[in-house]
Structure 1
Amino acid sequence: MPGNSKSPEQEQRSAAGAPFPRERGAGEDIVIIGGGIIGICAAALLVEAGRSVTIFDRTGICEETSSGNAAAFAFSDVLPLAHKGMIKNLPKWLVDPLGPLSIPPAYLPKLLPWLIRFWRAGAPAKYEASLAAQAGMMKLAEAEWMGLLDRSGTRPMLREDGSLELYESEAEFRASLSGWAARERFGIGFRHVEGEGLADLQPGLSPRFIKGTFVPGWKTVADPKLLGKAVWAYAEARGARFVKAGIDRVAADQGGATLMLADGTTKQARHLIIAAGAWSHLLARQLGDRIPLETERGYNTTLPKSAFDVKRQLIFSGHGFVVTPLETGLRVGGAVELGGIERPPNFARSKALLQKAQKFLPGLDPSGGREWMGYRPSLPDSVPVIGKASGSRPVVYAFGHGHLGLTQAAATGRLIREIILGQVASVDLAPFSPQRF
Structure 2
Amino acid sequence: MTYLAGQPLKILSDPNVQDVIVIGAGVIGISAALALQADGRKVTVLDRQDSSPRASDMNAGAFAFADIMPLAAPGILRKAPKWLLDPLGPLSVPPAYAFKILPWLVRFWRASLPGRYQKSLSAQASLMKLSQDALERLISDTSAEELIRRDGQLQLYEREREFQASLPGWELRRKHSVNFKLLKSAEEIADIQPGIDSRFSFAGFTPDWINTCDPAAWLSHLTNVFRTRGGNVIEANATQLRSTGNGVEIQSVNGIHCASQVIVAAGAWSHHLAKTLGDTIPLETERGYNTTLPSTGFDLKTHLTFPGHGFVITRINDGIRVGGAVELGGLQLPANYKRAEILLEKARSFLPELDKKTGHQWMGFRPSLPDSLPVIGPSSKDKRVIYAFGHGHLGLTQSAGTAELVRALSNKTQPPIDLAAYSPNRF
Shorter-normalised TM range: over 0.9
Partners in 1 of 2:125 and 2:240 — Cα distance? 35
Q: Compute the RMSD of aligned alpha carbons.
A: 2.0
Matched, 1:197 2:197: no
Q: Which runs of 4+ in 1 moved over 3 A?
A: 20-25, 59-63
Shift of 1:65: 1.4
Match of 1:252 in 2: 243
Aligned with 2:229 (options 215, 218, 238): 238
Match of 2:292 in 1: 302
- Contact 2:296–2:318 under 8 Å retained in 1: no
Deviations 1:78-103 (A, max 9, x none): 10001286433212222321111111
Match of 2:198 in 1: 207
**Per the alignment, do residues 148 and 262 of structure 1 end up closer, same or farther by CA in structure 2, a change over 3 Å counting?**
same
Aligned with 2:424 (options 404, 410, 434): 434
Partners in 1 of 2:366 and 2:75 — Cα distance? 19
Letter in 2 for 1:434: P
Partners in 2 of 1:209 and 1:251 — Cα distance? 55
Aligned with 1:158 (options 148, 154, 158): 148
Deviations 1:160-189 (A, max 9, x none): 111000001111001101111111001111
Partners in 1 of 2:243 and 2:356 — Cα distance? 50
Partners in 2 of 1:318 and 1:296 — Cα distance? 18
Match of 2:157 in 1: 167
Shift of 1:201: 1.2
Match of 1:43 in 2: 33
Partners in 2 of 1:298 and 1:62 — Cα distance? 14
Aligned with 1:113 (options 103, 118, 127): 103
Q: Which runs of 5+ in 1 are unaligned?
A: 1-13
Q: Give me the TM-score of the superposition, normalised by structure 1.
A: 0.93
Q: Give me the TM-score of the superposition, normalised by structure 2.
A: 0.95
**Per the alignment, do residues 255 and 425 of structure 1 end up closer, same or farther by CA in structure 2, a change over 3 Å counting?**
farther
State how 1:9-408 maps to structure 2 within 5 Å: 26-59=16-49, 63-83=53-73, 86-193=76-183, 194-253=185-244, 255-263=246-254, 265-306=255-296, 308-408=298-398
Partners in 2 of 1:77 and 1:251 — Cα distance? 37
Match of 1:5 in 2: none
Shift of 1:27: 2.2
* Corresponding residue SS for 2:383: strand
Count residues with an aligned counterpart. Answer: 421
Shift of 1:199: 1.1
**Per the alignment, do residues 61 and 157 of structure 1 end up closer, same or farther by CA in structure 2, a change over 3 Å counting?**
farther
Shift of 1:255: 4.4
Deviations 1:122-153 (A, max 9, x none): 10111221111111111110111101111101
Shift of 1:415: 0.6
- Contact 2:378–2:424 under 8 Å retained in 1: yes
Q: Which runs of 5+ in 2 are unaligned?
A: none
Match of 1:423 in 2: 413
Deviations 1:285-340 (A, max 9, x none): 00111000000000000001315221111000000000001215200000011100
Shift of 1:385: 0.2
Deviations 1:269-292 (A, max 9, x none): 111111000000000000111000
- Contact 1:307–1:330 under 8 Å retained in 2: no
Shift of 1:368: 3.1
Shift of 1:207: 1.5
- Contact 2:17–2:246 under 8 Å retained in 1: no
Shift of 1:61: 10
- Contact 1:138–1:408 under 8 Å retained in 2: yes
Letter in 2 for 1:205: I
Partners in 2 of 1:84 and 1:209 — Cα distance? 26
- Contact 1:37–1:62 under 8 Å retained in 2: no
Shift of 1:195: 3.0
- Contact 1:253–1:392 under 8 Å retained in 2: no
Letter in 1 for 2:133: A
Shift of 1:60: 7.0
